[in-house]
Structure 1
Amino acid sequence: MQAANGVFGAELRRRRDMAGYSQRGLADALAALAWDDLRLRVGVDGNLVSRWERGTAQPRAPYPDLLCRLFRTTPEQLGLRVGLPSHAGPGDGQAVIPFEPRMVIVDRMRRAGSSNVSDDTLDQLDRMTVDAVDEYERFGPAVLVPRLVEQRSWVEALFDGRQTFRQRGRLYRVAARLSGLLGSLAVDRGDMPTARAYCDEAYQLADLVDEDELRAWIRGTQALIEFYAGRFDRCLALAVDGLRYSHGGPQEARLLAQGQARAAGKLGDAHTVAVAVDRARELAYPRPTGTVSPCLALDGYCPARVDGNAATAFLAVGDLTSARRFAYAALTRFDAAGMAGPRSLTRIDIAVTFLSDGEPDRAVHLVGEALEISASRPIATVAARTGQFLDAGRRFLPTASMRDLTELATEWQHTARPELPGG
């Protein structure tokens, strides 16, 4: 930039006097601004400011930019001509082009690469969400909700800072998983409105990073919410939409078995149940003996999970033989893995088959076992299935065992359920 015919020196002096700076004071202010805004050390002093004002020197980068920042003005208003060096001025027939000072570009580069979160921190956050998925059924809402709420709030605070584009995408993925987990935990507490809100948030974040596998995972949880809310049409629609994003990947078996098959069963569509279960079993991921994939698995459903959901689906369409076969196959692996929720839910499914066969005492025994298994970590889904069993067994209520079970279930719901902090 050039001084325009001595105008700059007079304008600089005028603005300095109005601001109350001495020439040395202005130099100190420019040096401080260069460090605070650009992290740049400059050698300006009072003598250089005097030379600018007398017109014996012209300000060179980064000083024109710093002067404009300090006085909150434009180069033109300060008396600086924006354009090419003196050897290529307007008299040479070339247009004046208002490029930015190089330090402005350098500062923009610095800010674009700055971040308030490191890749190592993001790695830890990723591992924490994976750990939470794995611990989901072992610890339940009472332990996990406070921890995940704290983690979600911490991640949200990071969004107020700066990250690289890639790091921000990773933060969105972590936030989406945490919100999805909290949504599923809300289902376990029977709080469907909160579950929907968390999962809607999770899906919005998945859209922002345009990640199909994450969309599919969240659709599976949204389908779960609507299944236990009794909105089976909506459950089926969400599961089918999730299949658009799964592309035969890790989430497809879960969407087919837990979502599509079970919803179709409740809607009386036996053909869709059979097709969905067959396809899910083809896609199931093998697991080491004695282990079962998490119910919100990020890396695919195992055969036990598929079979457990298949049992529920076939039971809904009245295929008791298939329901019992799949349920017992799943139960063996659930018992070996010591998973309270699946062990209880599968026992209740088997109990319904015995109830339909006219064996209420045998059925009641299994439901009693289910309630005992989940007594220390009760979840709303077990309570809902128990209620459905009792509704189906009303014609047997005169029997002593059925009356005892009704009392046990009532006591279980009122005394075994742990309260969340603040809840």
Structure 2
Amino acid sequence: MPVGNSMFSAELRQRRETAGYSQRGLADALAALAWDDLRLRVGVDGNLVSRWERGTATPRAPYPDLLCRLFHATPEQLGLRVGLPSQAGPGDGQPAIPFEPRMVIVDRMRRAGSSNVSDNTLDQLERMTVDTVDEYERLGPAALVPRLVEQRGWVEALFDGRQNLRQRARLYRVAARLSGLLGSLAVDRGDLSTARAYCDEAYQLADLVDDDELRAWVRGTQALIEFYAGRYDHCLALAVDGLRYSHGGAQEPRLLAQGQARAAGKLGDARTVAIAVDRARELAHPHPTGTVSPCLALEGYCPARVDGNAATAFLAVGDLDSARRFAFAALARFDAAGMTGPRSLTRIDIALTFLAEDAPEQAVRLVGEALEISATRPIATVAVRAGQFLDAGRRFLPTASMRDLAELAADWQNNARPALPGG
């Protein structure tokens, strides 16, 4: 704009007087706006404003933008730039249309694209949760809980920053996985109240990103919590709700075998047990020889996992032959893979079939092996199942072997903090 632009000079004077500013007051307002909106310190004063109004000086950056912001006007309306005639503005008897200055829009675009977390960081966070699932049974609660609590807190702090919608959705999924894992670890420690809280949080996060697979994964853990709380109707309802989200995908075998079949077994529904187990075995994901899918598998249950849970379900409805068949099939693979928890739990299921057939010595030997296998990593689920075995074998308590086992199991109750119904 050449010096002496009378249109701008007249427009500025009119707008300043209409707004009630003195020339010095306008300068102060521009300086405050520059700091508040742009974090810039500018040297405008009343003398410079006077020169603009006399046409002896031209506003240079950032003053054109600041004037537009202050008066809610476009450069054309202020006479700073030649453009299309304004259809509404001061001087034509109509109020100005309050479009935003272009720099406001550009700055908003910049902020919308800014983020405090990179895609590479999100890749690593997602990898971290997968690694934790893989390490879950090998390391156990004592090693994993402090690590996961720290990671969950770090992810939560990232929410206070800015991310684009795609990145924020990924961050929510990571947070949901971490909370779900902490919920499972709380089950292992027998702290069912804390487990419920973590899983409620995980499910809420899954809902926020409308992720059906994640909802199904969390429902599987929630069903597990209620199974060990002895609330089998709740366990069944949660498993069935999870199946609504699984769509025949990776989480369906777990929900069918660990949730629906086992809960139905405890409720005496042999038909549902059989149907759920058959469907879970159809959907089971093959796994390399000598390996077993993690208990919290993100990619789906392998046949050994399905068979191990099927044994528990058939045992509950009194089908000892099926329970033993599935248990021995699973145990061979659990032993080959060195899976501590499954090796112990499956031995206890087999022991219960022997106990039901009045063969207490074989049964006691298997439970003793189960407790020994898990001695370095005691978990509440093993302690609870051992307690169930002792309850079922009360009539054999006069025998020395059963009394010795009861003493050993009592030590487990103290070390593993077993889950209690309703806990």
Normalising to structure 2: TM-score of the pair? 0.87
Contact (CA 8 Å) 2:129, 2:178: kept in 1 or not? yes
1:154-204 Cα distance to aligned partner (Å, 9 max, x none): 000000000000000000000000000000100001111100000000000
**1:301 aligned partner:** 301
What's the CA shift for 1:65? 4.8
**2:379 aligned partner:** 379
Spell out the pairing of 1:120-135 with structure 2 (5 A cutoff): 120-135=120-135
- In 2: Cα distance, 1:384 partner to 1:114 partner: 50
**2:106 aligned partner:** 106
**1:155 aligned partner:** 155
Amino acid at match of 1:7: Q
**1:246 aligned partner:** 246
- Is the aligned partner of 1:6 residue 2:3? no
Amino acid at match of 1:144: L
- Is the aligned partner of 1:401 residue 2:404? no
Of residues 259-268 and 97-106 in structure 1, the stretch that sits farther from structure 2 once superposed is 97-106
**Secondary structure of the equivalent of 2:39?**
helix
Contact (CA 8 Å) 2:189, 2:417: kept in 1 or not? no
- In 1: Cα distance, 2:414 partner to 2:402 partner: 19
Spell out the pairing of 1:141-180 with structure 2 (5 A cutoff): 141-180=141-180
Cα separation, partners in 2 of 1:312 and 1:18, compared to 1, 3 Å:
same
Alignment: residue pair count: 405
1:59-112 Cα distance to aligned partner (Å, 9 max, x none): 58863553577xxx6538xxx869996761458899843211110110010000
**2:3 aligned partner:** none
- In 2: Cα distance, 1:20 partner to 1:60 partner: 14
Cα separation, partners in 2 of 1:400 and 1:58, compared to 1, 3 Å:
same
Spell out the pairing of 1:180-219 with structure 2 (5 A cutoff): 180-219=180-219
**1:136 aligned partner:** 136
Contact (CA 8 Å) 1:324, 1:353: kept in 2 or not? yes
**Secondary structure of the equivalent of 2:100?**
coil
**1:273 aligned partner:** 273
- In 2: Cα distance, 1:7 partner to 1:368 partner: 94
- Is the aligned partner of 1:75 residue 2:72? yes
- In 2: Cα distance, 1:83 partner to 1:116 partner: 38
- In 2: Cα distance, 1:154 partner to 1:233 partner: 37
- In 2: Cα distance, 1:303 partner to 1:86 partner: 73
- In 2: Cα distance, 1:94 partner to 1:75 partner: 15
Cα separation, partners in 2 of 1:182 and 1:92, compared to 1, 3 Å:
same
1:369-401 Cα distance to aligned partner (Å, 9 max, x none): 000011110000001000000000001111111
Amino acid at match of 2:354: F
Q: Which runs of 5+ in 1 are unaligned?
A: 419-423
- In 1: Cα distance, 2:261 partner to 2:353 partner: 18
Normalising to structure 1: TM-score of the pair? 0.87
Amino acid at match of 2:305: R
1:31-56 Cα distance to aligned partner (Å, 9 max, x none): 7667537xxx9998998644334455
Percent identity of paired positions between Structure 1 and Structure 2: 79
- In 1: Cα distance, 2:121 partner to 2:366 partner: 47
Amino acid at match of 1:276: A
**Secondary structure of the equivalent of 1:163?**
coil
**Secondary structure of the equivalent of 2:166?**
helix
- In 2: Cα distance, 1:8 partner to 1:61 partner: 20
Cα separation, partners in 2 of 1:31 and 1:307, compared to 1, 3 Å:
same
**Secondary structure of the equivalent of 1:207?**
helix
CA RMSD in angstroms, aligned pairs only:
3.2
- In 1: Cα distance, 2:98 partner to 2:58 partner: 18
Amino acid at match of 2:72: P
- In 1: Cα distance, 2:22 partner to 2:230 partner: 72
Cα separation, partners in 2 of 1:253 and 1:285, compared to 1, 3 Å:
same
Cα separation, partners in 2 of 1:116 and 1:45, compared to 1, 3 Å:
farther
- Is the aligned partner of 1:117 residue 2:121? no
Contact (CA 8 Å) 1:265, 1:317: kept in 2 or not? yes
Contact (CA 8 Å) 1:75, 1:82: kept in 2 or not? no
Contact (CA 8 Å) 1:213, 1:251: kept in 2 or not? yes
Cα separation, partners in 2 of 1:286 and 1:127, compared to 1, 3 Å:
same
Amino acid at match of 1:211: D
Contact (CA 8 Å) 1:83, 1:98: kept in 2 or not? no
**Secondary structure of the equivalent of 1:299?**
coil
- Is the aligned partner of 1:36 residue 2:39? yes
Cα separation, partners in 2 of 1:152 and 1:16, compared to 1, 3 Å:
farther
- In 2: Cα distance, 1:34 partner to 1:45 partner: 19
**Secondary structure of the equivalent of 1:372?**
helix
Amino acid at match of 1:302: C
**1:88 aligned partner:** 85
1:276-329 Cα distance to aligned partner (Å, 9 max, x none): 000000000011111000000000100000000000000000000000000000
- In 1: Cα distance, 2:92 partner to 2:71 partner: 25
- In 2: Cα distance, 1:126 partner to 1:86 partner: 52
What's the CA shift for 1:412? 2.8
Amino acid at match of 1:247: H
Contact (CA 8 Å) 2:24, 2:49: kept in 1 or not? no
Contact (CA 8 Å) 2:190, 2:416: kept in 1 or not? no
Cα separation, partners in 2 of 1:81 and 1:349, compared to 1, 3 Å:
same
1:246-288 Cα distance to aligned partner (Å, 9 max, x none): 0110000000000000000000000000000000000000111
Amino acid at match of 1:75: H
**1:421 aligned partner:** none
Q: Which runs of 5+ in 2 are unaligned?
A: 1-6, 419-423
What's the CA shift for 1:4? 3.6
Cα separation, partners in 2 of 1:410 and 1:52, compared to 1, 3 Å:
same
